[in-house]
Amino acid sequence: MRHTLFLSFLILLSGHHFAQKKQDFKLLFNAKFGNSNLILNDTYYKLNENDSIKIEVLKFYVSSIEFLNNDKVIWKEKNSFHLIDFENLKSQTILLNIPSDLHITKIKFNLGIDSITSTSGALAGDLDPTKGMYWAWQSGYINFKMEGNSPSCNTRKHQFQFHFGGYKQPFYAMQTIYLPVSNLKNNSLTIDFNLANFFENISLNQTNSIMIPNKEAMELSKKIATIFYIDEN
Amino acid sequence: MLVISIGLLAFISQKNTPLVFKVPKNWPKPNYDFSKNPLTEEGFQLGRNLFYDPILSRDNTISCASCHLQATGFTHVDHNLSHGIDGKIGQRNSLAIVNIAWQKTFMWDGGVNHLDVQPLAPITSKVEMDENIENVVKKLNASSFYKTLFKKAFKDPIITGQKTLLALSQFVIQLNSSNSKYDKYIRKELGGEFTEQEKRGLTIFRNHCANCHKEPLFTSDTLENNGLPIDTTLNDFGRMKITQNPNDSLKFRVPSLRNIQFTFPYMHDGRFKKLSEVVNHYVSGVKNSKTLSDKLKGKPILLSHEQKIDLVIFLLTLTDNEFLFNKRFGYPLKTKNTY
């Protein structure tokens, strides 16, 4: 009897193990400007008839990654915090280890850092304050950082600086993004975002420097969240 | 057997020495989560070295201790606005570091939400240390002295921003003052015998001041508008700059009054040099406004000349010489210069 019990326990365990067979999964973030892939620093992109723009810094946090089947969460990454920095090619790919039998129809992630994490003191890894994504005189993470220049900006050296963040209402700027997934190939998924779609909605001569949590940072964070998509082709 | 013992000894010698955070009798529970940064002697000594080391500043001239001197209750005295790198003058008077394990927010405007991340503010301030934490970590990683200390404290020689900040917390969180004459009076200990005047002062204090400067910490850890007229050369509206909310206009931290005898000048902009000026402000200088603290609205604090003196005499009982002269909190015996 005891043996049978032990045996069935073993079978149960191995069965469980079998169901939990894992595989690597690559999640890529790809920045575009209009029809081109974004290259930092050396290229001016056309904004409209008579204006152009150059991006010099582009980094943001992706956190709390989840896979869903319809609306049911079927997998979530533990301790899920990733800094995507376009200066660092490697950071644009998030390597996940997921069960191999997931049927994914939707992906969810947060753009930015949640309020609990933002009030948890000094953290490690991608959340280490040496990453240039932590404010000093007013605590909290910068969710999304984008800097560059454009002749439209009536500022010193025509610079614009967007540091979107804020963890406290009414300026809690983190955005939750859901994207439908189909045709998953090669255990990888590319999430595109097109910055042209962001800049066509704002006027750089009026909006060019946002470095604190405020109403504008909230509105622009919401706009940034809408430019992410998955190219089905 | 001998081999085992030696092995065991070697193992023990590599272990950290845990420190227990002592909460004085009848004090509230500290706010800091020690489980996330367990205190050790090695961590404390590392933090102490960092606190006294100008390596944290851009040109290696300014340390935390430049503005937070032990002998004056860990604050910068004699300057209404504290000065930092290149002799530049700041916007505010430095706060005293005392009993901060009980504090929930930091800085005069409460803009910093956790003790561990507080040092980022002075390190990056253009008029204080004008450095960044990335470069501080680079400098520390290049120092064999610090590599050894970090290895001892964290069992890992690789220095990160997180570990640097956790070590600083380990030191400053132990800067606790609870042995003033007042404390001994409360605990009915030797050396705590209050004079009649001190007793009268305590009564006045409890009637008029203790709502905000709550015993035993002598602060409510809140931000209030205490009715100071705006200094138009600074136009510092305090908390409002953080929240963008007009209801927070002119709100500043209620500071602890411990060791107040030595922490002059007073207020966020150091506008008062003497305690008598502070008392006079509350008696006759409070400016009414929409955001004035409820505790100051309506009922004026009426004190006679003698009562004002009694109150100041009581405040002097908050001086804690054991704290101000505790060698453990002073300049480290072993620094990178003596190493």
pLDDT of residue B7: 47
Q: Where are the beta strands (DSSP E) in chain B?
A: 223-224, 252-253
For range A90-103, the mean pLDDT = 94
CA B31, distance to chain mean position in Å, is: 14
Query: What confidence category does residue A42 fall into, taking pLDDT thresholds of 50, 70 and 90?
Result: confident
Which residues of chain A have a CB within 8 Å of the CB of B165?
121-122, 129
Closest CA to B52 of B307, B328, B304, B310: B328
| Distance, CA of B184 to CA of B162 (rounded, Å) | 38
> pLDDT digit of tens for each residue in chain B (339 aa)?
455 555 444 444 568 899 999 999 999 999 999 999 999 999 999 999 999 999 999 999 999 999 999 988 899 877 777 788 888 888 899 999 999 999 999 999 999 999 999 999 999 998 899 999 999 999 999 999 999 999 999 998 899 999 999 999 999 999 999 999 999 999 999 999 999 999 999 999 999 999 999 999 999 999 999 999 999 999 999 999 999 999 999 999 999 999 999 999 999 999 999 999 999 999 999 999 999 999 999 778 999 999 999 999 999 999 999 999 999 999 998 777 765
Nearest chain A residue to B115, by CA: A121
- How many contacts, defined by CB atoms under 8 Å, are there between A and B? 71
Are B113 and A139 within 8 A, CB to CB?
yes
Are B121 and A137 within 8 A, CB to CB?
yes
Do A28 and A191 contact (CB within 8 A), yes or no? yes
CA A198, distance to chain mean position in Å, is: 15
Segment holding B51, helix H or strand E: helix B41-51
Is the model's pLDDT at A88 over the cut of 50? yes
> Which one has a higher pLDDT value, B87 or A122?
A122
Which residues of chain B have a CB within 8 Å of the CB of A219?
none
> Which one has a higher pLDDT value, A147 or A153?
A147
pLDDT of residue A233: 66
Mean predicted lDDT score pLDDT of chain A: 90
Which residues of chain B have a CB within 8 Å of the CB of A132?
132, 134
Are B244 and A215 within 8 A, CB to CB?
yes
pLDDT of residue A185: 78
Are A137 and B37 within 8 A, CB to CB?
no
Do B176 and B39 contact (CB within 8 A), yes or no? no
pLDDT of residue A19: 57
Segment holding A68, helix H or strand E: strand A51-69
What values do phi and psi take at B53, rounded to 5?
-105, 120
Q: If contacts are CB pairs under 8 Å, which of residues 72-101 in chain B contact chain A?
A: none
Buried b (16+ CB within 10 A) or exposed e, A15-38: eeeeeeeeeebebebebbbeeeeb
Do B169 and B37 contact (CB within 8 A), yes or no? yes
| Distance, CA of A25 to CA of A31 (rounded, Å) | 20
Q: Which two tokens stand for residue B27?
A: 């004090």
Cis before A170 (ω within 30) = yes
Which residues of chain B have a CB within 8 Å of the CB of A136?
117, 120-121, 123-125
Query: What confidence category does residue A8 fall into, taking pLDDT thresholds of 50, 70 and 90?
Result: low
Mean predicted lDDT score pLDDT of chain B: 92
Which residues of chain B have a CB within 8 Å of the CB of A137?
107, 111-112, 121, 124-125
| Distance, CA of B121 to CA of B59 (rounded, Å) | 17
Any CB–CB contact under 8 A between B223 and chain A? no
